[in-house]
Structure 1
Amino acid sequence: MMHCLAIRHVPFEDLGTFGPILHQAGFTIEYAQAGVDRMSASRWAAPELVVVLGGPIGVNDEDAYPFIADEISLVRSRIDIGKPLLGVCLGAQMVAAALGARVYPGLAREIGWGHVTLTDAGRESALAILDGAPVLHWHGDTFDLPHGATLLASTPLTPHQAFSVGKNVLGLQFHAEADAARIEEWLIGHSCELAHASIDPRTIRADAAKQGDAAARAAGNMMRAWLRDIGLAP
């Protein structure tokens, strides 16, 4: 079986709806806890797929959380060997930083269910299925597009929502993987952030109930398409 190493920063921001798709494609999944579990370049090099997930800290918080610099270095090591790498939210920002791009606060926090607008390249990529589909936005930072990257999706508030670098590196600022059936974990885990941003959790909960099934279908089909594109699924 193939092996997926998923780097998790908080327990509830996991592979979500991507997990069953990876199992169906023949992957075993191993989670590693950033900042806690011992990491090495060899551990990152071995799996067929590495996924770096989201979290409430930022790329620029490395003074307070020194492991961030080490994790970005490991992201770079994975890019350098050319094996498949997916970064989600904080993970996408780490990919951008590893490639030398600037990561910085966005115009405002973008939190809640919404959509992305695909570029021409995005409509020809695995993300094509997301055209018009709901996704969960949950971020305050953004990044410049890394040198050599292809922009795949945008929103008015966040122009750089998704990008690819070559065939095997994909960064998603939004949370396509978020499982609406488990949205309460997000609302509890990020309760302080929601209060600080004056965002009503009842709105996110209600939208999850309305749009969760469509989001899960689109996310699953996107992941299947990407796995095919990178040669890890038939």
Structure 2
Amino acid sequence: MTRVALVLRHADEIHLGNLEQVLVEHGYTVSYVDTLGADGVQGIDPAAADLLVVLGGDMGAYETEHFPVLAEEVGLISDRLAAERPVFGVCLGAQLMASALGSPVYRGPTNEIGYRGVEPTEAGQDSPLRHVRGIPMMQWHSDTFDLPAGTTRLAGSEAYGNEAFAIGDWALAVQFHLELTAEMHETWLASSTDEVLAEGLDPDALRRDRAEHSAAMQVASRALFSEWLSGLPGDAGDPRRTP
């Protein structure tokens, strides 16, 4: 049985990365929607796909005046969550999920760029988030959100208390970029040199951190996402390995 993962993408370079193969291994066909395109998310049935994945982006979830499609995305996510259909959000995707659940999204205390520790909560230790404990994960964000009512906080970090939350076993939001590959990281560094330098960071130092931490992060990310997919209600999580 083929399953469909509908992926909302806000920039070509911010894609599924290392998570795409995990989806394939679990029997999903990946279908991207470029939300900044002419059609945005119009005409999408919020409950139709087996899984909705909402990726990151350079904009803030609250910048609806400049990016009207974000309000449409929030409506789509809200309807899907109300239908209790599986949703997975990363960074901006997590913030849009929080907004869809009625929580404010706003600027945080710092612009986090680099590999940082993420600490699972007690509930997170009993969830797929346990795989990231002790493994520096890639952060690239300066926004945060209040924990939505009815969700379970699964992880936090030194600078940001809300790094991951869940609803049951079918909705998961993570603030950090677990999808990031070394190739994606290099592309992001090349396109964001001014931002990196403005934060007083050395791109070469970030590359050295990548060389030290990226491989372990890939293992943790794949384990987290694979376990979460395997736990989705029904038979949506049975992995089917490709040769």
Q: TM-score range by the shorter chain?
A: over 0.9
Q: Secondary structure at the match of 1:43?
A: coil
Residues 68-108 of structure 1 deviation map (CA, whole Å, 9 limit, x = unaligned): 11111111111111110001000000000111111111111
The 1:181–1:209 alpha-carbon spacing in structure 2 relative to 1, beyond 3 Å, is farther
Other-structure match for 1:154: 156
Could you tell me which of 165, 176, 185 is aligned with 2:167?
A: 165
TM-score, with length taken from structure 1:
0.96
The 1:59–1:213 alpha-carbon spacing in structure 2 relative to 1, beyond 3 Å, is same
Other-structure match for 1:7: 8
One-letter amino acid of the counterpart of residue 30, structure 1: S
Distance of 1:78 and 1:193 partners within structure 2: 35
Could you tell me which of 133, 138, 141 is aligned with 2:140?
A: 138
Poorly superposed stretches of 4+, deviation over 3 Å = 40-44
RMSD of Structure 2 on Structure 1 (CA): 1.3
Distance of 1:72 and 1:50 partners within structure 2: 13
Shift of 1:126: 1.1
One-letter amino acid of the counterpart of residue 16, structure 2: L
Distance of 2:98 and 2:179 partners within structure 1: 19
Shift of 1:181: 3.6
Residues 146-202 of structure 1 deviation map (CA, whole Å, 9 limit, x = unaligned): 011110000110000000022211110001111124311111232332233222211
Other-structure match for 1:28: 29
Residues 114-140 of structure 1 deviation map (CA, whole Å, 9 limit, x = unaligned): 220110000000111111122100100
Distance of 2:192 and 2:78 partners within structure 1: 29
- The answer as to whether partners of 1:95 and 1:171 remain within 8 angstroms in 2 is yes
Distance of 2:86 and 2:195 partners within structure 1: 32
- The answer as to whether partners of 2:106 and 2:143 remain within 8 angstroms in 1 is yes
Q: How does 1:1-234 map to 2 (within 5 A)?
A: 1-36=2-37, 37-40=39-42, 42-231=44-233, 232-234=236-238
Residues 13-68 of structure 1 deviation map (CA, whole Å, 9 limit, x = unaligned): 11111111111111110111112144246433211111000011001111111111
Distance of 1:150 and 1:62 partners within structure 2: 27
One-letter amino acid of the counterpart of residue 174, structure 2: L
Distance of 1:222 and 1:41 partners within structure 2: 31
Distance of 2:227 and 2:148 partners within structure 1: 23
Q: Secondary structure at the match of 2:46?
A: helix
Matched residues, number: 234
The 1:144–1:57 alpha-carbon spacing in structure 2 relative to 1, beyond 3 Å, is same
TM-score, with length taken from structure 2:
0.92
Q: Secondary structure at the match of 1:12?
A: coil
- The answer as to whether partners of 2:169 and 2:228 remain within 8 angstroms in 1 is no
**Runs of 5+ unmatched residues, structure 1:** none
> Which deviates the most, 35-44 or 199-208?
35-44
> Which deviates the most, 165-174 or 136-145?
165-174
- The answer as to whether partners of 1:91 and 1:171 remain within 8 angstroms in 2 is yes
- The answer as to whether partners of 1:126 and 1:229 remain within 8 angstroms in 2 is no
Task: Judging by fraction of residues, say which structure has more helix.
Answer: 1
**Runs of 5+ unmatched residues, structure 2:** 239-243
